[in-house]
């Protein structure tokens, strides 16, 4: 590398080098007045020989995210602080390069106000929130209709300006990007060893003691993952649970056994979210929600792990190679191969994150031994106007209605849970009630 490139690369210079005109700056936390897409950079006034990582926000981050791991173990504040500091570039002032296809002003505001550890509205660049003196940082931006392409170009230009001696001292010298960026263009992410560092945003799963008042329209045996209908009545069932776990109906789902009929229970309604700043403050003050368990059979968990392994070891490198090859063709704004590869990369990374979360929160279910009530893992023989059918109750991640595996959160699965052989259940649906008699538990 030429000696001329071994110097501090400021935000304005980087933007100019890729053919754009920098706008700004504004101090960190101040509004950026732009409603167009583009790129933005966070810059400190001068290079710092040591990382100004503050152990106080780092400790808060660890406390807020109980699932966070460092190299597979629960880190102390000191350990995580040291790991973050091992990615500091003492010869550079640009800490983060971002891009957005939406309004720049809104995206920059989202970056500033997303609490450390929250998955929304904009968790990228979250390492910035661990630094002291961030109020002295400045934000520059440039409007462009090709933000992703220019972000890649900026990151590539940035890497060329870093001294090789500094690179060699990094914890991962193979990925040279600003401190708060996680990956280089078309490359694998930094090997920082920090995993599950965001709160899980998945909603709570229904439990046996939770009253459910309605379900969205859909097939009575489909799962909550949008399985294709099988020609059955679409449904909105309702179910409430008693103290013993045996279920009657809420909002229309009823049960009769040995000639007894249980009247629908009173519905319970969640409080309506309040709007405005008061509602946002209440949401911010609410305690972190415990991640919902993902109920899977041992076979289902093995399938999830196999899919994740295939994506990480095979598909991801293939897609990265496609992105790199397409970029080398030039003229990214008119490059259909590049656009397709980037979309495939986004989909694959999203699925990898989803699978990692599912596996992390997996709860193994086994077929109940000699149980007389329907539960997760039960295989049930039911009779309806279509004749006898056999269903196995599984978690939503394994639901395959066409194969007789229905989710415990699907209308029919939810109605069956907690019942016994001989019980009748009714699933209320917009196109008419569906009546089922439970013949046998296997």
pLDDT in tens, 105-138: 999 999 999 999 999 899 999 999 999 999 999 9
User: CA triplet 435, 440, 442: central angle to 5 degrees?
Assistant: 130
**What's the pTM?**
0.50
Predicted pLDDT at 369: 61
Dihedral sign, Cα of residue 133, residue 192, residue 99, residue 163: positive
**Rounded CA separation 297/295 (Å):** 7
Judge whether 239-265+366-441 and 298-364 match in fold: no
Beta-bridge partner residues of 38 = 100, 143
pLDDT of residue 246: 35
pLDDT value of position 234: 33
Q: What is the pLDDT of residue 408?
A: 80
pLDDT at 216: 40
Report pLDDT for 185.
Answer: 67
Q: What are the extents of the domains in the chain? A: 3-195, 239-265+366-441, 298-364
Contacts of 283 (CB under 8 A, 6+ apart): 273
User: In this structure, is the dihedral angle defined by the CA atoms of residues 101, 104, 109 and 111, taken in order, positive or negative?
Assistant: positive
Tokens linked to 42: 């966070």
Tokens 């409007």, residue?
143
CA 17 – CA 11 distance, rounded (Å) = 10
CA 421 to chain centre: 40
Pairing mode, strands 138-143 and 23-27: antiparallel
pLDDT digits (tens, 9 = 90+) for 141-171: 999 988 988 998 899 889 888 999 999 999 9
Q: Under a CB-based contact definition with an 8 Å cutoff, are residues 44 and 97 in contact?
A: no
- Peptide bond between residue 368 and the one before it cis (omega within 30 degrees of 0): no
- For residue 8, what pLDDT is reported? 82
pLDDT at 45: 94
Q: What is the pLDDT of residue 296?
A: 82
Query: What fold does the segment set 298-364 form as a domain?
Result: Helix Hairpins (1.10.287)
Give the side-chain half-sphere CA count within 13 A for 388.
5
Architecture of 239-265+366-441 per CATH?
Roll (3.10)
Contact 407, 205 (CB under 8 A): no
Cβ partners under 8 Å of residue 291, min gap 6: 67, 200, 202, 357, 360, 361
Q: Which residues of the chain fall below pLDDT 70?
A: 1-6, 185-188, 201-292, 330-335, 367-371, 429-431
């Amino acid at each position: 590398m030429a000696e001329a490139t071994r110097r501090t690369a400021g935000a304005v210079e980087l933007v100019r080098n890729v053919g754009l005109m920098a706008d700004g700056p504004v101090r960190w936390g101040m509004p950026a007045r732009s409603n167009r897409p583009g790129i933005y950079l966070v810059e400190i006034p001068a290079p710092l020989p040591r990382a100004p990582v503050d152990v106080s926000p780092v400790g808060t981050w660890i406390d807020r995210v109980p699932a966070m791991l460092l190299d597979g173990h629960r880190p102390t504040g000191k350990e995580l602080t040291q790991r973050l500091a091992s990615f500091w570039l003492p010869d550079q002032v640009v800490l983060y390069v971002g891009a957005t296809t939406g309004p720049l002003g809104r995206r920059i505001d989202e970056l500033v106000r997303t609490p450390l550890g929250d998955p929304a509205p904009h968790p990228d660049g979250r390492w910035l929130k661990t630094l002291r003196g961030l109020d002295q940082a400045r934000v520059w931006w440039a409007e462009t209709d090709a933000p992703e392409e220019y972000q890649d170009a900026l990151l590539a230009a940035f890497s060329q300006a870093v001294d090789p001696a500094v690179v060699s001292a990094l914890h991962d010298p193979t990925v040279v990007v600003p401190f708060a960026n996680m990956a280089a263009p078309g490359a694998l992410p930094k090997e920082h060893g920090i995993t599950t560092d965001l709160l899980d945003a998945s909603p709570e799963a229904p439990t046996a003691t939770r009253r459910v008042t309605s379900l969205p329209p859909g097939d009575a045996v489909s799962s909550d993952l949008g399985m294709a209908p099988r020609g059955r009545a679409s449904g909105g069932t309702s179910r409430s649970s008693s103290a013993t776990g045996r279920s009657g109906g809420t909002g229309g789902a009823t049960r009769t056994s040995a000639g007894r009929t249980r009247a629908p229970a009173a519905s319970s309604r969640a409080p309506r979210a309040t709007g405005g700043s008061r509602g946002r403050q209440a949401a911010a003050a609410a305690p972190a929600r415990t991640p919902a368990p993902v109920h899977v059979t041992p076979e289902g968990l093995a399938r999830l792990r196999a899919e994740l392994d295939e994506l990480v070891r095979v598909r991801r490198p293939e897609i990265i190679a496609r992105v790199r090859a397409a970029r080398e063709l030039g003229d990214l704004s008119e490059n259909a191969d590049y656009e397709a590869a980037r979309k495939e990369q986004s989909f694959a990374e999203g699925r990898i994150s989803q699978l990692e979360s599912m596996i992390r929160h997996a709860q193994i279910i086994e077929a109940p031994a000699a149980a007389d009530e329907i539960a997760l893992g039960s295989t049930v023989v039911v009779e309806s106007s279509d004749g006898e059918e056999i269903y196995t109750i599984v978690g939503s991640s394994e639901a395959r209605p066409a194969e007789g595996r229905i989710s415990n959160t699907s209308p029919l699965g939810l109605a069956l849970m907690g019942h016994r052989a001989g019980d009748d259940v009714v699933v209320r649906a917009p196109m008419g009630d569906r009546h089922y008699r439970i013949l046998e538990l296997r």
